Structure 1
Amino acid sequence: MLMHHGIGLDHFNSLPRRRAIHALYECCCSVTWAEKIADGRPYPGYEALHTAADAELHALSAAGLAEAFDSCAHESVSERSVIELARITRARLTRMLGPEEGYPEY
């Protein structure tokens, strides 16, 4: 379960660096990746964030990818590839941020 659930992109963009890294670490479990994504803020939209996240996953070393996969042991993984890690990470980012259109007002 993510501690940062449904926080929205605007709130994520405004988090202090350390808190943003913490929130991102929950999505991928790579400090290197989380730092790079946090430092790329602000993101104008979900797609820009997802694009940056995918690019930084591809930039991880083999050891960095192995570390991220080892932390995703509780996830259903079909193969240990960057594409599979990107799928998991995108799903976690979406849960962290919540729906792109926001939550309905009640």
Structure 2
Amino acid sequence: MTYDGLGLAEFDALPEAEANAALLVCCSSPEWARALVAGRPYPNVDALFERADAVLAELSEAEIDRTLDGHPRIGARPDTAASAREQAGVARAEDAVREGLAEGNLAYERKFGHIYLVCATGKSADELLELLTARLGNDPETERRIMRTELAKINRIRLARLLGDGE
């Protein structure tokens, strides 16, 4: 079932299991989804976004790793409609850029032990490869912090779409 365009009042009124399911499409962390469901009703969308960011900031590293499992590699075949929309800029990429992304993804995973996560919405494949290359120079602590920030951006985009405020 798709929940896009629900509106905040409708989201707040969903049965708990349905609200959880809708949120798991946005972010694959069960802890994150449960915490957001428990915070209902929300007075406005900004309050939901703030709660989403706060809960994400408090998730354990193990839960963040679980969340990363819900995202395909940048440049790989997207496994959800959300990922396909977000990585639309890669669909038109030249073979050399796709190869660069594939190689960069592997180097990133070897160095950091998890997938390269970036908010890809509105970015070209060239931009995504440039960001990947730059982030390979980060230390693990810096990279975890950046990855959490990127995850928060993705969550907000997906929540906005869920509530009907997305593109």
Fold shared per TM-score above 0.5:
yes
CA distance in 2, matches of 1:22, 1:47: 21
Instruction: Name structure 2 gaps, 5 residues minimum.
Output: 73-77, 88-116, 119-142
Report whether the alignment pairs 1:22 with 2:21.
yes
Give secondary structure in 2 for the equivalent of 1:72.
coil
CA distance in 1, matches of 2:62, 2:2: 26
Q: What is the match of residue 150 of structure 2?
A: 84
Q: Would you identify which runs of 4 or more consecutive aligned residues in structure 1 move more than 2 Å?
A: 74-80
The alignment of Structure 1 onto Structure 2 pairs a total of residues equal to 99
Instruction: Name structure 1 gaps, 5 residues minimum.
Output: 101-106
1:43-79, Cα deviation, whole Å (9 max, x unpaired): 0111000000000001111011111112112445336
> Which structure has the larger Rg over C-alpha atoms?
2
**% identical aligned pairs:** 41
Query: Scaled by the length of structure 2, what TM-score is found?
Result: 0.55
Counterpart AA for 1:99: D
The structure whose RCO (Cα within 8 Å, separation 6+) is larger is 1
RMSD over aligned CA atoms reads 1.8
Counterpart AA for 2:21: H
Give secondary structure in 1 for the equivalent of 2:68.
helix
| Superposed displacement of residue 99, structure 1 | 2.3
Query: Scaled by the length of structure 1, what TM-score is found?
Result: 0.85
CA distance in 2, matches of 1:21, 1:3: 13
Give secondary structure in 1 for the equivalent of 2:165.
coil
